Copies of this chain bind each other. A is one copy, B any other.
Amino acid sequence: MLAKTDVFESDLQELADLSKALAHPARLAIIQHLAQHESCICGEIVDAMPLAQATVSRHLKTLKEAGLIKGEIDGPRSCYCLDTDALARAASAMSGYLDEIASSAPRENCC
């Protein structure tokens, strides 16, 4: 893209990036899985998803690039887990935006 997005405020850009990371059910399911299970071995995530290993690995990379999860490549095993601080910041940013919208006065005079 021709960098036309640079003209938007950085907080909106960050929130858009976060939304993009959340914009796939597989990634939402991976986050949920990591939250609900002790283990975070990659193979178990793959088994829990109805997708090929390569596809899951790609989603994990996307989540890692977004900073929502952490991963340690440990030889033939990889350990993934949530970045709880980052997720808390993400939740805060998202609810901050949506609450600000929700608290705006309704427009009865149109639509």
Which residues of A does B touch, CB under 8 Å? 4-5, 7-9, 12-13, 15-17, 19-20, 22-29, 31-32, 35-36, 38-40, 50-51, 70-72, 79-82, 84, 87-88, 90-91, 94-95, 97-102, 104, 106-107, 109-111
Contacts and interface: CB of A to CB of B under 8 A. Distances in A.
A111 B40 contact: yes
A17 B95 CA distance: 17
B70 A111 contact: yes
Contacts of A19: 19-20, 22-23
Query: How many copies make up the complex?
Result: 2
B91 A99 contact: yes
A4 to B, nearest CB: 7
Contact of A101 (B24, B35, B71): B35
A57 to B, nearest CB: 16
Q: Which 3 A-B pairs have the closest CB atoms?
A: A8-B25, A35-B104, A91-B98
B81 A110 contact: yes
Contacts of A101: 31-32, 35, 82, 87, 91
